Every structure is written in structure tokens, then in C-alpha cells.
Structure 1
Amino acid sequence: MPEYRCTRNKSYAGDCTGRDDLTARQGYYIQAESPEGAWKEMATRFPDEVTYGFTVDQWEGFNVKVVEVPQDKELENKQDLLTQSSKQELLAQLSEVLEYKTPPYEPLKVPEYRPGEYGEWTLEEINTPITRGYFTSYQSVTNNYRLCRGNTLWMSLTPMELESQSHHVLAAKGHTVLMGLGMGLLLYNVLLNNDVEKVTVIENDPDVIELFHQITNPTAWQNWDKVSIIVGDALNWIPSETVDYLAVDIWPALGDENLRPNGQKIQQNVRAKQVALWGQELDFISYCVEQGYSPPCTLAQYHEYIEAIGIPLIEADNPNYPDYCFRAAQMVMNY
């Protein structure tokens, strides 16, 4: 039976090694039939940390090839020891680890960005050559940016971020409300949806709005005349007109434990006809674990989850969606 090394993603409380050092939260070696079995065992041991997830890596030896480099041979690029061919070879090897290579939804379109800084917020260009997606496995990344408030990462253009919002665009229609502006990525794509008549953006921090206008050129975006940006608290904002679709992205990380209670409070005020919560796939899998359900998850269980939390979530009619949720949980727990 394979052995897996598991890591608790939730930081330890208090000022201790496990708060900032990931290696201090590793070391849970579990024998299981599959990574899902090891993850479920960790969920049983630490039920309060399910929403944060657990990283599961198969524990086995690695074949290491030692190559001697003559002292008089200079590296052509000291900043990047991997040649382009070796990157592609590594990417191909990593992709074989997981079967998920094709995203289930059409990728988001990305507007042009430029680095910027305002108040505590910064947008900087970064290099992340190989990373995981949300519904897919390893892939290469180019032209990536990340939005930070101080040392806290709020958003990026990694496949994890792009794929986790791709299906939120499909359900947008009529009067669409977006909670959280960020880099404006979801807004840009919602405006390309012909079913959308009006977009209201609720953003709590006016500095984000100022930075948004510095890092891109939103007034030149298609259908920008449909947009209204309101400075307000997502948890307390009450619309003055009917909302057809609500998309909420106010959390700095996927798997945030506040997703469910925040989503419920927001929907009580907004009463949207349909809702998308960033990371809802992970919360659905957490619900299945709470109920003691074993994979594969089903559409009936997703309907039960929707009724239990009282939010009319998207994808209720998609029979493939529970499998997509399980994919996302696999990707995030190994991220």
C-alpha cells in the first residue's frame, strides 16, 4: 500500500514555528489506497481544518542524476538554470502525474496590465514557469502578475486563479453584481458577455479602485458604460434593484473558512437569483466530508449542499460539476 506524506495547510496559531514554516506542518505519514484516502484520513484527524485542505504527496525515493560541470564552463544564463527544452521535459513528466490536462471551461481573456503601486497595494510582474491549475494539472505560465496588499497575496494570473473564475462568467446576465474588484479580471470578462445589461462592482477599499485605473485602461474596455463601481462593504451592502447574478470574491485565498458564512450573509442582503462564490467547489467537497460521503460526489449531493447553505449557486444543472469540484480539491490540496 502506498505511503503519503501529508501537510496541514492551516498555519499553527500563535507565534510558533508552524505559523510561517510549512515544513513544521509536514510529517504526517499515512498509508492509503490513494491520495484521496490519505486526504480523508487527515480530514478525520483534523476536521476543523478541512476548509484549508491538506497537501498530499506520495512518499517514495527519487532517482537523482548527478552531472559534473567543468569549472571552466560558464552558464549562459545564471538566473535560469533550466533550459527551455528541460522545462518542457519536466512539464511533460509532471503532467503525467495527474490526468486533468484540459480545463472544463473556456479560459478567461486577460486584459493588458502594467505594474503599479498605490497605498498599501502593489501589482508586480512575476515569473512562475511551472504551476498547477484549478481544474488542470501542471502547465507553464507566462506574463504573470500578482496583486498584493503589503505581504498578503490577493490575486494573480496563475492558472489556479484564472480557472477558478472561468465558469463565473458563463452565468452572468441582466443586472450582475461583483463583490471585490481586484485586478478587474472577472469584470473584463463579464463585460464581454452579451447577456449582461448592467454591472455593479462593490469594492471596500478605494485604494484598490485607484490602483485599478493605474494598472490597466478600463475606460477603453468593451461595454465600460455598463459599469458602476461603489465603495462599500460586501457584507452589508443592500441593492436598490433586483440582482440577477452575484459573484463574490472577497477572500485572499482559496478554501477560506469564511466563504460559507460570508456568502450566506451577503445573499441575505442581495437576494440574487443566482450566485457564484470564489472557491465554492472546495466548500462543497468539505460539506461532503462533513456528511461522511465518499467520492465520487454526485449532483444530488450538490443539490443537497445548495439547500443546506441556502444559496442558489451556479452549475446546479451540470452533471459533470461534482467531478470538477473533486478535481479542484485535488489540485488545491497539492498546490
Structure 2
Amino acid sequence: MNEITTGRIEDDNYRILTLLSRFLNNRPDYISREEIAEITGLGVSAEYAFGVLFAAALGLDIADNPADTDLYNHYFSKMLHRLDVREYYDNPYFKNIQIPAATIGGSELKMELYKPYEAFVCNDIITTSAGRMIPQIGFFETEFRFPAVLENNRIWMTITPNEIETMKEAVAGASGNVLTYGLGMGYYAYMASEKAEVRSVTIVDSNEDVIRLFRTHILPQFGNKHKITVIQADAFEYAEQQMPGGQYDFVFTDLWHDVSDGMDMYLRMKEYEQLSPSTQFMYWIEQSILCYL
């Protein structure tokens, strides 16, 4: 691949990521059910209709602008996914854990929702052999309700398709004595504790309010709550001072909200791997973080 092609792909990556960030932060529910119905009435699929409307919402002119058409052709077919709410409502956490409305300090536990055809990140970025970085964007055709923790009225932690998909590998890899940095609503801890080959799950989190919400309203519902230990501590201090002597078989780190605040923490936590050479480490949305490093 020559330098001109590589440079063009890098420009395309930057452009698509910038357009998506602007859209998802400002108007993710821009596409309406009525607009989808109008286009599918012409005999096309809902996925195609969503793609055309999504391109327009990003400001792309795929009919008359060759550069926009090229961007659409290279990214959209691998980027957009129609998801089925039944698949996620059948997830063990969704089926077995009831989320009440509760507030402790500045942390609020509640249910939030995606509207029909609202766009959201649904998995880690895919990198093609040519170097194209393709974000994964999902949508539902019906409303989807999901648990969330708000910090001072801002959504901070959720259990959505993105969390479920991006934790599958770490759940599959968990065995023996597991350590996880970051509590959230205990999704990872729950899924790991359900595995017979997992003996214990130690959770390290510094947020007292989130820990109290979890212990009061969520942990009592765990089928294997006897496996769970929650420690209030700074993750990096614990990694340096306690993790090496903890004889952990598997460590999963999920301390960040997204890539923007995750890169520095990811690199810092990676440095502590050498203190536990026999331990297996995994990190939330690592593939997406590596795309930016």
C-alpha cells in the first residue's frame, strides 16, 4: 500500500470518527420511525433505510458527492447493525437482576432507554487489513430499556449492548480467582461469578456511593454472591501494592467511560502487569483504545 493510499485511509478514518462523535453527542435520536417507514415503503430494507438517513444526518451527500459516496461504501455496510431487543433481554443479568430507582449521595440508579432507531455504539472498533477503523453502530426498531448509574444527573455507567458485547471475551476468559477494577452495576462480576470455573471475584472501586448502591440493591440478587468481595480502594494503588500478592488468575480492568478518558489509565495499568507475570490481563474496549495510540 503506497503512502497516498495510506494517507487517504487515515483521512477517512479521522473524518468518519469526527462525524460520528458529533452526531452521537448531539442528536443520536435524530432518525424517526416515520422517516424509516417512508423509505421502506419503497421496497427497501430497514437497514438500508437507516443507512441512507444516517448518512444524511452525518452531513454526507452520497448521491452527488463522490468523496461522500466513497466514504459510505467503505464504512457503512460494516458499521451499522440492526439489533434485536430479545437477544439482550435474554441476557442472564437482564433476566435475573431487577434494577430499582435509588439514589445514594451523588449517584442515582435508574432505567434509561434507547428510542426506536436511536444510534449508539454497540461494540469495539474493527480495524480492516487496509487500516480502516470502522466503528460499530447499532439501533433497535423498538424501544430498549437498560440500567444506568447517573453521577450528578449525567449518565456514567450503563449496561447496554456495547457493554455486553465488549465484555464477552473477558467473561469467557475468567477463571480461578478473578480481580476486576471498576464496579459499575456489577455486570462483569455477575457474569464471571456464574461460571463454575471461577472461584472468587474481587471488585476494586473507589466510589463509595456506587458501592453502597450495589451492595444494597444489586448484590443480594446474585445467585453466587458468596464469591463476591468488594474493596473500596484506588485501583492503581491496589494494583501496585495488593495485586501482586493476591494470587489472581485473571484481571479485567474497566475504569474508563470511553476512549477519550481511557488511554492514559490503560497505559498506566498496563505497567503493573509485570508485577504479576502469571496472571492473565484484559482491558475494556482495548481494541478501540489501541486504534488511537
TM-score of the alignment, normalized to the shorter chain, above 0.5: yes
Query: What amino acid is aligned across from residue 114 of structure 2 in structure 1?
Result: T
Worse overlay, 232-241 or 146-155: 146-155
- Give, as a single letter, the amino acid of the residue that structure 2 aligns with 1:55: T
| Counterpart in the other structure of 1:231 | 232
Residue 94 (1) aligns with residue 67 (2): no
**d(CA) in 2 for partners of 1:271, 1:233:** 21
CA contact (8 A) 2:82 2:138 kept: no
> What is the aligned partner in structure 2 of residue 189 from structure 1?
191
Offset at residue 235 of structure 1 (A): 0.1
Counterpart of 2:108?
122
Aligned: 1:38 with 2:38: no
Q: Which residue of 2 aligns with 1:242?
A: 247
User: Aligned residue for 1:146?
Assistant: 148
Q: Is the 8 A contact 1:39 1:56 kept in 2?
A: no
CA distance in 2, matches of 1:95, 1:41: 19
SS in 2 for 1:187: helix
Determine the C-alpha separation between the residues in 2 that align with 1:196 and 1:206: 26
Alpha-carbon distance between aligned partners in 1 of 2:162 and 2:190, rounded to the nearest angstrom: 18
Two-structure CA RMSD over aligned residues (Å): 3.5
Cα shift readout 1:147-190 (whole Å, capped 9, x = no counterpart): 12114432112222222222210110001001111111111111
Q: If the length of structure 2 is used for normalisation, what is the TM-score?
A: 0.63
Query: Is the Cα–Cα contact under 8 Å of residues 203 and 231 in structure 2 kept in the other structure?
Result: yes
Change (3 A) 1:115 1:41: closer
The one-letter code matched in structure 2 to 1:134 is: N
Q: 2:119 aligns with which of 131, 136, 140?
A: 131
Q: Unaligned 5+ residue runs, structure 1?
A: 1-31, 43-52, 58-80, 288-335
Inter-CA distance 223–145: structure 2 relative to 1 (3 Å threshold): closer
1:233 partner letter: D
Matched, 1:278 2:284: yes
Q: Deviations over 1:7-62 (max 9, x none)?
A: xxxxxxxxxxxxxxxxxxxxxxxxx99995434566xxxxxxxxxx93246xxxxx
Structure 2 gap ranges (5+):
21-31, 53-75, 125-135
Aligned with residue 109 of structure 1, among 92, 106, 118: 92
Give the aligned residue type for 1:94: F
- Choose which of 269, 273, 284 in structure 2 pairs with 1:267: 273
